[in-house]
Amino acid sequence: MSDNILKNLRNYEVDDLVMVGFEKDQDVKLPLVNESLDMDRQFRQIMFFYESGIRQLTAKLEILNKEFQFCNDRNPIENVKSRLKSQESIVRKMEKQGLPLTFSHMMANIRDIAGVRIICPFITDVYQVARLLISQPDVELEDIKDYIRNPKKNGYRSLHMIVSVEVRFSDMMRKVLVEIQLRTIAMNFWASTEHQLRYKKERIFTEEMHRQLKECADIMAEADEKMQKLAENLNVSDAENLYW
Residues forming contacts to ligand 0O2 in the complex (CB under 6 A) are 112, 115, 145, 152, 154, 156, 160, 191, 194-195, 199
Q: Chain centroid to CA 136: how far?
A: 17
Nearest-approach distance from CB 210 to ligand 0O2, in angstroms: 11
Neighbours of 195 (CB within 10 A): 12
Nearest-approach distance from CB 68 to ligand 0O2, in angstroms: 26
Nearer to ligand 0O2 by Cβ, of 100 and 115: the residue is: 115
Nearest-approach distance from CB 145 to ligand 0O2, in angstroms: 5
Nearer to ligand 0O2 by Cβ, of 127 and 190: the residue is: 190
Task: Compute the distance between CA of residue 244 and CA of residue 240 in angstroms, rounded to an integer.
Answer: 10
Task: Compute the distance between CA of residue 161 and CA of residue 133 in angstroms, rounded to an integer.
Answer: 11
Nearer to ligand 0O2 by Cβ, of 29 and 210: the residue is: 210
CB of 180 closer than 8 Å to CB of 161: yes
CB of 155 closer than 8 Å to CB of 213: yes
**Parallel/antiparallel/unpaired status of strands 159-168 and 139-146:** antiparallel
Nearer to ligand 0O2 by Cβ, of 68 and 156: the residue is: 156
CA–CA distance from 140 to each of 113, 159, 193, 217 (Å)? 17, 16, 31, 31
Short-list 22, 5, 4, 31, CA closest to 169: 31
Nearer to ligand 0O2 by Cβ, of 131 and 152: the residue is: 152
CA–CA distance from 18 to each of 3, 33, 53, 112, 208 (Å)? 21, 7, 20, 20, 50
Nearest-approach distance from CB 146 to ligand 0O2, in angstroms: 10
Nearest-approach distance from CB 111 to ligand 0O2, in angstroms: 7
CB of 57 closer than 8 Å to CB of 161: no
Nearest-approach distance from CB 200 to ligand 0O2, in angstroms: 7
Residue 184 identity (one-letter amino acid)? T
Nearer to ligand 0O2 by Cβ, of 1 and 197: the residue is: 197
